[in-house]
Chains A and B, each alone.
Chain A
Amino acid sequence: MAEKELTQRSAWDKVLANLRKRSLWMLHYCTGCGAVELPPTMTSRFDMERFGIMPMVTPRQADILLITGYLSVKTLKRVILIYEQMVAPKYVVGFGSCTINGGMYWNSYTTIKALDRYLPVEMYLAGCMPRPEAIITGFNSLIDKIAKGEANSWKDYYENYEFYHKNQEHVFGDIETHHDVPADGKYFRVVEAKR
């Protein structure tokens, strides 16, 4: 039963996805320099809101976590705290080459090089930096993925939490987020469905 729920999409899932893709609230975590591309994306020139994407100020009400630049070790800890506060389904979008492979900080002693080792990244926007056109195109492909039911990387955080947590601990030594991630996975029927 549970297996079927995961692999086959019911009509209800399709309805949900269709509704979900039209209303994406975005928490933009503006580290680094990528934040300057967001005001034109949000405001009248490119007008992100025509796709139903809207900036949101709290993680608990946001669907997208947009990380707009390099992440130092100190910043990564805050991003993990924020990510775990968000309610599933949630989509991490890495913005710019810094989140992909470290970018121009490839040899820095205090920035992480690959965001997907610490958080499940749904999509990367390549570029240094991506222009608003690229952001809009990227969000459109995210909308397509959600409509098709393929945007499931957030489930990976619950299924492979050991992998992410091990990598997080490798950076921080010991990280305490005051958030019961395995219990979350059960609540969203990700972990139980696997068994």
Chain B
Amino acid sequence: MSELIRTPSAGRPLAALGAARGADAIMAAIVAETGSAEFHAKGARRVEGQVKADALHSFAAAMKSRVGFEHLSAISCVDWIAQGEFELVYHFWSYRDNCLVSAHVRIDRATASMATITDLWMPASFFERDIHEFFGVVFQGNTDLERYILTDWKGPPPMRKDFVSRDFAHEHFQYKDYEPTWDEMIEGGYRGSRDKTGGAE
């Protein structure tokens, strides 16, 4: 029987091996290893909770090495403009448990600064570049925050809630000479930059 138990391969944490755990066992492991008690189960294979911004890096390191969540699925960002905050959501996946843990981090919207986790997961750089480009969050320690998708972009970060796509489009692109009115019918009387022809004439 002991032959069947996989020996820890190079660099693979012990916590990533073994039988699958349920959500309760995972939350217990998170409390034991990171001391973070603010997690709750959303489903049988879905755990989420809050993490303080300055504690996120050590939390992620513990998740990777000691709790067994080897895989960073994604980092996503939500703009809570009324509260003046960005919410970064780090999604950790465990191949052992087939379970997703989402760590929600709130950061200040004005400073929009967060520590990088590219030293733990190199591919996190893609997510951080993406969030930097679309939300303007600066990831401290990430050495590669170059333009990623919007290579010719010169405007403000477009996924922020206070970015008005219509106004930007009317300022930066040329439209046909005729004035369409169907968009006003749909959108309820938009009169933004209608009198301007927009763009280089």
CB <8 Å contact, B169 and A114: no
CB distance from A171 to the nearest CB of B (A): 7
CB distance from A96 to the nearest CB of B (A): 15
CB <8 Å contact, B172 and A171: yes
Which secondary structure characterizes the binding site on chain B?
loop
Q: Using known A-B contacts A74-B152, A101-B180, A109-B158, determine if residue A166 contacts B200 with beta carbons closer than 8 Å.
A: yes
| Cα of A169 to Cα of B150 in the assembled complex, Å | 16
CB <8 Å contact, B152 and A172: yes
Asked whether A23 is an interface residue with its Cβ less than 8 Å from the other chain, the reply is no
CB <8 Å contact, B175 and A107: no
Return the CB mask of A10-28 against B: 1 if under 8 Å, else 0: 0000000000000000000
CB distance from B189 to the nearest CB of A (A): 14
CB distance from A31 to the nearest CB of B (A): 15
Q: Which residues of A contact B126 (CB under 8 A)?
A: none
Q: Which residues of B contact A111 (CB under 8 A)?
A: 173
Q: Identify the closest chain A residue to B170 (Cβ).
A: A107
Asked whether B98 is an interface residue with its Cβ less than 8 Å from the other chain, the reply is no
CB <8 Å contact, B199 and A110: no
Q: Which residues of A contact B200 (CB under 8 A)?
A: 166-167, 169-170
| Cα of A86 to Cα of B9 in the assembled complex, Å | 55
CB distance from A128 to the nearest CB of B (A): 13
CB <8 Å contact, A100 and B180: no
| Partner of A114 from B151, B165, B168, B175 at Cβ < 8 Å | B175
CB distance from A65 to the nearest CB of B (A): 20
Asked whether B140 is an interface residue with its Cβ less than 8 Å from the other chain, the reply is no
CB <8 Å contact, A113 and B183: no
CB <8 Å contact, B175 and A109: no
CB <8 Å contact, A114 and B176: yes
| A-side interface size class | 20 to 34
Q: Identify the closest chain B residue to A116 (Cβ).
A: B176
| B-side interface size class | 20 to 34
Q: Identify the closest chain A residue to B159 (Cβ).
A: A109
| Cα of A108 to Cα of B163 in the assembled complex, Å | 12
CB distance from B170 to the nearest CB of A (A): 8
| Cα of A102 to Cα of B200 in the assembled complex, Å | 17
Within 8 A of B (CB), among A77-125: 77, 100-102, 106-114, 117
Q: List 27 A-B contacts (CB under 8 A).
A: A73-B153, A74-B149, A74-B150, A77-B152, A101-B175, A102-B169, A102-B173, A106-B183, A107-B165, A107-B166, A107-B183, A109-B155, A109-B158, A109-B169, A110-B153, A110-B158, A113-B169, A113-B175, A113-B176, A166-B200, A167-B199, A170-B174, A170-B199, A170-B200, A171-B152, A171-B172, A172-B152
Q: Which A residues contact B (CB, under 8 angstroms)?
A: 73-74, 77, 100-102, 106-114, 117, 166-167, 169-173
Taking A114-B176, A166-B200 as known contacts, 20 extra A-B pairs with beta carbons closer than 8 A to each other, sorted by chain A number, are A73-B150, A73-B153, A74-B150, A102-B173, A106-B180, A108-B165, A109-B155, A109-B168, A112-B174, A113-B169, A113-B173, A114-B173, A117-B174, A169-B200, A170-B172, A170-B174, A170-B199, A171-B152, A171-B173, A173-B154
